[in-house]
């Protein structure tokens, strides 16, 4: 549709802008270097605008205002008349008439203008060009719409922006991108024109997002791009020093930008992953990490919320503040729960200090400061407002009141220690001060503890100073002051109701608070030593009085000296005096023992204990070394080293005098008399090494006289047995080595040359072991076993019980405390050889010794030191060898085992101690080995079908499966099947009617029906390929007489596979073969059979 010039002119003169005109007159903040200060701007707007009064202009709006001022040309005209623009884009019209100005194209439309002139229609803008101008004008139009309508009602503004988009004919996706760019510029302006964050800006930014209808993705992108814009424009003039200065405007502006970004993302309910991504890439623009950016955000958040808390304290008791309001403020500002809790505690502390009367510079009189009336109620109101616990209030009151309480308590304690006032009066003073400071009674223990540490701290500090220079007198004096203070403190504690352990609670250096925390263990022990020495010096007769002993015990508690240190000190200081009396007592008793003498000496020892307040434990401590000395004296002077009856009585008296337990002195007796007992044991052993029963009673009597325990004499006896046993084992090893090893092998084993004369028998060792061994060492082994058993070396221990004939009987385990391996007389290899020789000997020996040898096998293995598992392994290997030899020999000679062989194996199984299952296993393994060797021999040369058949039938008669029982690989079983049936297939003995024969063979081989069919098919294909090769050669050479039998064979093969023999042959050759077949002699075949064969041959040759 076309419009006339008159009509268009009417629109220009009559139409008004759809949203009214907007003009501003403002003074913007001047930017000098990197400093900027927001100014108050007078903004003139139409009635109803959100900026219709004198306000601090939003930096974002000021940024948009600058955008509009920079907008010139046609886009500005379009913004002023968006309604007409909608009409203009409906058709091609003279743009100068519609828009009311002469066409001055921008570079973007220069080509279109030129085209218009060439075509004779200059001044007329095409529909496509109008669309381009609509896109260019959209961004400033969006800014103008935001300025005119404000963002206080974002939904209304959003509706107007949507109408604007339709007027300008901008695609929704393009329009959202433009809105995002406006958001981006707005955000830069908020930071650029005011570096201080304002609480209203969070709502402002959210309203802007809603007015522009931006999604979370667009907002995140806008923040990152705004960061880049601001960084490029501002940070090139900013130094690192500016950014490190927490008070600089540049740093504050940067923090504000990060804060607005964090809040915008959080308020949009971004997922954690999306928030991390957007925040990280925004922080990266400023060369920050994610966590560094969040730290900067906290720099903005905390002052905001701190002001809110301060305001809340001022409004406490009114209805102007509530917990809900604070919670909403935290959520809006993004205050973390942990940070919020800490700030609430800090606000509570500020209120406590304010109520106590602290000045702004933190000054107050500690002795007079106290809370005003109603302070506790006010603090409780604040606690409820801040959602804190009563314990939090108590903590703040106590932590602030403790220093003030100590100031009063310190003066009161000084007066109490100095005798000016009583402990009771000091307590009253402190209680009054506690009440003034509102410190709860439940914290009284803490208050009293602080009094204790303060009261004892000064004398302990003085004491430590003197101890460093070893000033014994000053240390003693300072400690006496500390003891006096301690006594006063104890009275105070009793008044407070204390009932604990004073030394553990206040003097334990392990605790965090202790009166001796500045002294290490060595320093404390040094002070204790000086105090004790000075106490002895101050005594009249050099002995400690009861009063001095009590003081020393107090000092021990204060210095945390443990009992071991006290005993060590006593030994060092008073041990020589006590030891002198005790040694004199020992000499007198050993010289001329009498019961009355012991009583006198005991009185003298107790007197020393009483004079020096020594712990009675020192008698036994000193007595041990003196008693050992007495034993050595008796051992050296007794006949044959065995103490007499009188000497034993004297030794018993010494034990009682020294308060030594009889079990305690047994080790001393072993040291003194052990060699005597060992010599007696060696003498009691006969030439065989066995101690006869009549000698054992004498050895027991000797043990009692020597005062040695039964377990200790057992050890001595074992040592003697070990010495006797080693050469017996070495002899057996020597004889066995000559049997098993050759001269060269033995020389290498012993690492030295072995001459021919060493082999006394003249036999050259051939390495034969077991049944074939020539030299028998069984006699020597049995002598060693008898030596071991008759001396009672083996020990039986009950390990369990079992039911036998419905009766519970014990189950024992035999232990061998001395073994050949443990003594080093034999190595592991030879130990196994010796055991194997004995087992084989017990198997081969006949007569009365056979059973004895058989019953001694486990004992011999235990004496050698072999484990039960190793013995079982060796026994199993022997059985394996015997079974292999017997079964192999008989199967090779007879082909199979008969009834007599099975009876022999049953006896052998029993003799070897094998279970029925083990015997069957060995038999199966031996048979498998023999049959495997036989099959290998068959395949070693060209295997024949007859040999395969005989082997298969033998395995079948024995009930053995080739693959499962004998272990023949499946591939070899398949080969056996092929080798056995191939001759029958080629000769025609096996045809398609021979299914039973094939089934019998496959079943005997352990083949499944599927495996047999697959093997037969593969074989037929192989055979067919060979025949075709031959047929092709014969046909090409014209030897038609040579193809008769192969073709007949081929037809038989085809009957198995329905003619699908997989043959690839030229059609010409195939036709020649078929034509030749038609001329064959078919005598004896029915016409039906002949026709069937022809059809089969056609199928095989792929002929139609």
What are the pLDDT digits (tens) for 842-865? Answer: 765 656 777 788 788 889 999 999
The answer to whether 931 and 965 have CB atoms below 8 angstroms apart is: no
- Identify which of 293, 323, 461 has the alpha carbon closest to the alpha carbon of residue 385: 323
Angle between helices 472-495 and 390-417 (to 10 degrees): 130
The string of DSSP letters for 294-325 reads: HHHHHHHHHHHHHHHHHHHHHTTTSSS--HHH
Residues with Cβ within 8 Å of residue 8, at least 6 apart in sequence: 93, 94, 97, 98
What is the per-residue pLDDT for 410?
A: 82
Q: Give the integer Cα–Cα distance in Å for 21 and 186.
A: 21
- The segment with the largest mean pLDDT, out of 11-15, 48-52, 112-116, 689-693, is 689-693
CA distance 63 to 252: 19
Residue with tokens 């690839």: 1064
| Whole-number pLDDT of residue 885 | 65
Q: Is 541 helix (H, G, I), strand (E, B) or coil?
A: coil
Per-residue confidence (pLDDT) for residue 57, from 0 to 100 = 66
Query: In terms of pLDDT, which residue wins out, 936 or 111?
Result: 936
3-class DSSP state of 812: strand
Distinct helix (H) and strand (E) counts, the chain:
48, 6
- Residue pLDDT, tens place only, 295-353: 888 888 888 788 888 888 888 888 888 888 888 888 878 888 888 888 898 888 888 88
Estimate the crossing angle of helix 172-192 against helix 216-234, to 10 degrees: 40
Mapping DSSP onto H, E and C, the string for 1056-1075 reads HHCCCCCCCCCHHHHHHHHH
d(CA 673, CA 638): 11
Q: How far apart are CA 135 and CA 1000, in angstroms?
A: 92
Percent of the chain whose pLDDT exceeds 70:
85
pLDDT band at 142; cut points 50, 70, 90: very high
What rounded mean pLDDT belongs to the chain? 79
Residue 105 has pLDDT above 80, yes or no: no
Q: Does the predicted model carry a pTM greater than 0.75?
A: no
Structure letter (DSSP) for residue 965: I
Does residue 95 surpass a pLDDT of 60?
no
Return the structure tokens found at 885: 């030899």
Residue 701 to residue 895: CA distance in whole angstroms: 72
Between helix 172-192 and helix 59-69 the angle, nearest 10°, is 120
The pLDDT of residue 185: 92
Length, in residues, of the chain = 1104
Helix, strand or coil, per DSSP, at residue 124: strand
Report pLDDT digits (tens) over 764-815.
434 333 333 334 688 889 888 888 888 888 888 887 888 887 888 888 888 8
Q: How far is CA 797 from CA 546, 811, 814, 815, in A?
A: 58, 8, 6, 7
What does the pLDDT look like over 397-416, one tens digit per residue? 888 888 888 888 888 888 88
Contact 743, 702 (CB under 8 A): no
Residues 544-580 have pLDDT tens digits of 778 888 888 899 888 888 888 887 787 777 778 788 8
Token pair belonging to 734 = 């020597």
> Would the pLDDT of 134 be above 70?
no
Q: 777: Cβ–Cβ under 8 A, 6 or more apart, which residues?
A: 732, 735, 736, 739, 834, 837
For 394, the token pair is: 């108590």
Decide if pLDDT at 149 tops 80: yes
Predicted confidence (pLDDT) at residue 108 exceeds the cutoff of 70: no
Tokens representing residue 553 in the block? 């015990």
Q: Is 397 exposed, middle or buried (0-12, 13-18, 19+ CB in 10 A)?
A: buried
pLDDT for the residue numbered 749: 67
The pLDDT value given to residue 225: 94
DSSP secondary structure letter of residue 55: B
In percent, the amount of the chain with pLDDT more than 90 equals 10
What per-residue confidence (pLDDT) applies to 860?
A: 92
CA distances from 43 to 21, 40, 49, 57, 942 (A): 14, 10, 10, 8, 115
Q: Would you state the torsion angle of the CA atoms of residues 985, 991, 992, 994, taken in this order, to the nearest 10 degrees? A: -110
Rg of the Cα atoms in the chain = 58
Res. 983: pLDDT tops 60: yes
482-502 residue pLDDT tens: 888 888 888 888 887 888 888
Name the band, by pLDDT with cuts 50, 70 and 90, for residue 75: low
């Amino acid at each position: 549709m076309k419009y006339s010039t008159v009509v268009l002119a009417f629109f220009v003169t009559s139409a008004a802008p759809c949203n009214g005109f907007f003009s501003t007159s403002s003074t913007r903040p001047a930017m000098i270097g990197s400093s900027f200060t927001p100014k108050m701007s007078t903004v003139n707007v139409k009635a109803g605008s959100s900026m219709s009064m004198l306000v601090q202009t939003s930096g974002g709006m000021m940024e948009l205002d600058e955008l509009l001022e920079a907008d010139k040309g046609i886009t500005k005209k379009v913004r002023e008349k968006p309604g007409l623009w909608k009409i203009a884009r409906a058709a091609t019209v003279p743009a100068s008439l519609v828009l009311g100005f002469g066409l001055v194209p921008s570079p973007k439309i220069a080509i279109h203008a030129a085209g218009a002139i060439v075509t004779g229609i200059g001044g007329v803008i095409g529909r496509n060009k109008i669309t381009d101008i609509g896109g260019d004008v959209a961004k400033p139009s969006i800014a103008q719409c935001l300025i005119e309508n404000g963002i206080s009602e974002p939904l209304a503004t959003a509706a107007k922006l949507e109408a604007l988009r339709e007027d300008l004919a901008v695609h929704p996706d393009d329009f959202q991108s433009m809105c995002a760019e406006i958001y981006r510029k707005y955000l830069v302006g908020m930071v650029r024109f005011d570096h201080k964050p304002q609480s209203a800006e969070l709502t402002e930014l959210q309203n802007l997002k809603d007015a522009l209808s931006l999604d979370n993705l667009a907002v995140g992108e806008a923040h990152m791009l705004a960061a880049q814009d601001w960084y490029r424009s501002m940070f090139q003039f900013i130094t690192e020093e500016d950014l490190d200065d927490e008070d600089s405007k540049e740093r504050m502006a940067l923090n504000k930008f990060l804060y607005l970004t964090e809040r915008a993302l959080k308020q949009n309910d971004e997922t954690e992953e999306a928030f991390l991504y957007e925040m990280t890439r925004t922080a990266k623009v400023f060369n920050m990490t994610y966590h560094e950016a969040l730290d900067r955000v906290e720099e903005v958040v905390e002052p905001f919320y701190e002001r809110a808390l301060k305001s809340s304290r001022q409004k406490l008791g009114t209805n102007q503040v509530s917990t809900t309001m604070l919670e909403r403020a935290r959520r809006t500002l993004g205050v973390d729960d942990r940070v919020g809790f800490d700030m609430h505690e800090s606000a509570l502390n500020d209120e406590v200090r304010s109520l106590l009367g602290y000045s702004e510079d933190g000054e107050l009189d500690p002795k007079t400061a106290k809370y005003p009336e109603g302070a506790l109620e006010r603090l409780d109101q604040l606690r409820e407002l801040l959602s804190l616990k009563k314990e939090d209030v108590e903590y703040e009151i106590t932590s602030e009141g403790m220093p003030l309480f100590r100031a009063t308590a310190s003066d009161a304690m000084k007066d109490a220690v100095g005798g000016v006032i009583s402990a009771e009066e000091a307590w009253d003073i402190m209680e009054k001060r506690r009440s003034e400071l509102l410190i709860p009674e439940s914290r009284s223990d803490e208050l009293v503890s602080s009094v204790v540490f303060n009261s004892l701290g000064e004398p302990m500090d003085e004491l430590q100073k003197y101890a460093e220079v070893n000033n014994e007198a000053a240390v003693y004096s300072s400690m006496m002051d500390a003891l006096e203070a301690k006594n006063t403190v104890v009275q105070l504690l009793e008044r407070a109701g204390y009932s604990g352990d004073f030394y553990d609670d206040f003097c334990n250096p392990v605790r965090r608070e202790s009166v001796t925390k500045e002294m290490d263990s060595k320093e404390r022990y040094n002070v204790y030593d000086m105090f004790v020495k000075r106490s002895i010096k101050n005594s009249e007769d050099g002995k400690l009085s009861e009063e001095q002993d009590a003081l020393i015990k107090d000092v021990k508690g204060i210095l945390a000296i443990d009992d071991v240190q006290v005993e060590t000190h006593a030994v060092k200081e008073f041990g020589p005096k006590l030891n002198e009396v005790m040694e004199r007592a020992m000499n007198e008793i050993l010289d001329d023992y009498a019961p009355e003498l012991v009583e006198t000496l005991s009185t003298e020892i107790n007197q020393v204990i009483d004079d020096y307040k020594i712990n009675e434990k020192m008698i036994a401590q000193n007595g041990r070394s003196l008693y050992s000395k007495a034993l050595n004296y008796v051992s050296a002077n007794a006949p044959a080293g065995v103490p007499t009856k009188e000497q034993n009585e004297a030794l018993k008296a010494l034990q009682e005098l020294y308060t030594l337990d009889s079990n305690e002195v047994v080790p001393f007796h072993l040291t003194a008399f052990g060699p005597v007992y060992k010599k007696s044991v060696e003498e009691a052993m006969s030439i065989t090494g066995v101690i006869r029963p009549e000698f054992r009673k004498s050895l027991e009597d000797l043990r009692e006289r020597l005062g040695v325990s039964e377990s200790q004499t057992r050890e001595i006896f074992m040592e003697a047995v070990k010495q006797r046993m080693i050469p017996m084992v070495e002899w057996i090893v020597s004889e066995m080595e000559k049997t098993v090893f050759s001269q060269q092998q033995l020389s290498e084993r012993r690492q030295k040359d072995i001459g021919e004369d060493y082999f006394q028998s003249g036999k050259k060792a051939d390495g034969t072991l077991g049944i074939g061994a020539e030299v028998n060492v069984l006699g020597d082994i049995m002598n060693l076993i008898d030596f071991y058993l008759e001396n009672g070396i083996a020990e039986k221990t009950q390990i369990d019980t079992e039911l036998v004939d419905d009766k519970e009987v014990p189950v024992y385990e035999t232990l061998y405390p001395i073994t050949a391996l443990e003594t080093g007389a034999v190595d592991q290899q030879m130990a196994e050889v010796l055991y194997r020789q004995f087992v084989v000997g017990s198997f081969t020996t006949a007569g009365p010794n056979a059973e004895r040898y058989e019953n001694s096998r486990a004992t011999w293995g235990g004496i050698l030191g072999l484990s039960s598992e190793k013995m079982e392994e060796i026994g199993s290997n022997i059985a394996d060898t015997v079974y292999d030899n017997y079964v192999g020999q008989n199967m090779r000679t007879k082909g199979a085992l008969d009834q007599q062989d099975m009876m022999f194996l049953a006896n052998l199984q029993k003799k070897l101690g094998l279970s029925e299952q083990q015997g069957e296993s060995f038999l199966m393994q031996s048979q498998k080995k023999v049959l495997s060797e036989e099959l290998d021999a068959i395949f070693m040369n060209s295997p024949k079908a007859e040999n395969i058949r005989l082997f298969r039938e033998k395995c079948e008669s024995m009930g053995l499966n080739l693959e499962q029982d004998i272990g023949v690989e499946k591939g070899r079983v398949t080969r056996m099947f092929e080798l056995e049936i191939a001759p029958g297939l080629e000769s025609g003995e096996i045809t398609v009617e021979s299914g039973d024969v094939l089934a019998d063979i496959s079943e005997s081989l352990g083949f499944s029906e599927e495996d047999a069919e697959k093997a037969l098919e593969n074989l037929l294909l192989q055979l067919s390929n060979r025949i075709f090769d031959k047929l092709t050669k014969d046909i090409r050479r014209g030897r038609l007489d040579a193809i008769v039998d192969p073709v007949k064979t081929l037809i038989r093969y085809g009957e198995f596979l329905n003619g699908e023999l997989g043959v690839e042959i030229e059609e010409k050759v195939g036709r020649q073969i078929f034509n030749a077949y038609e001329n064959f002699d078919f005598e004896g075949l029915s016409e039906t059979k002949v026709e069937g064969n022809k059809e089969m041959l056609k199928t095989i040759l792929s002929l139609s």
